[in-house]
Amino acid sequence: MSSYSKFSDFELIEKLKSGDSAALTEIHCRYYVVLYTQAYKRFPYREEIRDILQELFTYMWDNHQHLNFGNGIGPYLYTAVRNRLLKLHRHRKVRGQYAASLQGFMDQGEDSTYEQVQEKELMALIAREIEALPPQMRLIFELSRNEELSHKEIAEKLNLSPHTVRTQVRSSLRVLRAKLGDNLFFLFF
């Protein structure tokens, strides 16, 4: 692997496009810390930044044959991280608007019986979908969301790696988003 450190970015691109996973590992080693630092300056939430970077490098591997790096790896990665941060910011803003709207509605005291029934059905639906998750994934998800433990705390409690915990949480969120739809998902998670 040390020989990969001698390759230029353009050589690494060619190796990555041909399916060489060691090239992706070298790209990760070269750029991860810089990308993390730049993202953290704009968005100081460590877990979300780690998730964004993990998703980016996973996306690169999954689509290595079709990627267009244009002016090189550096500009591609910086742009990809910036775009993902902007997308995350937009989602947080929409989620905040939903929460404010819901809070405003609740403050008005207009909870009718029908709305209470709908709320109970909605909560039951969410509970069923969480119950349908595989046991390990469900346990990790519940520790993360209900007990508000960090990925590191969950990893220590269950004797797993933090990476496994992060992957399980991300997978459970992906499953729940698919089952509940974006509107409900962003409202509750």
For domain 112-188, say whether CATH 3.40.50.2000 is its number.
no
**Segment 74-97, tens digit of pLDDT:** 999 999 999 998 888 887 776 677
Q: Cα 157 vs. chain centroid, distance in angstroms? A: 22
User: For the whole model, what pTM was predicted?
Assistant: 0.50
Q: Is the pLDDT of residue 98 over 70?
A: no
| pLDDT per residue as tens digits for the range 5-17 | 899 999 999 999 9
* Mean pLDDT computed over 88-113: 68
Spatial CB neighbours of 13, under 8 Å, sequence gap ≥ 6: 23, 69, 72, 73
Q: Quick one: average pLDDT of 20-37?
A: 93
Which CATH topology does 2-86 take? Rna Polymerase Sigma Factor; Chain: A (1.10.1740)
Mean predicted lDDT score pLDDT of the chain: 83
CATH 1.10.10.10 placement within the chain: 112-188
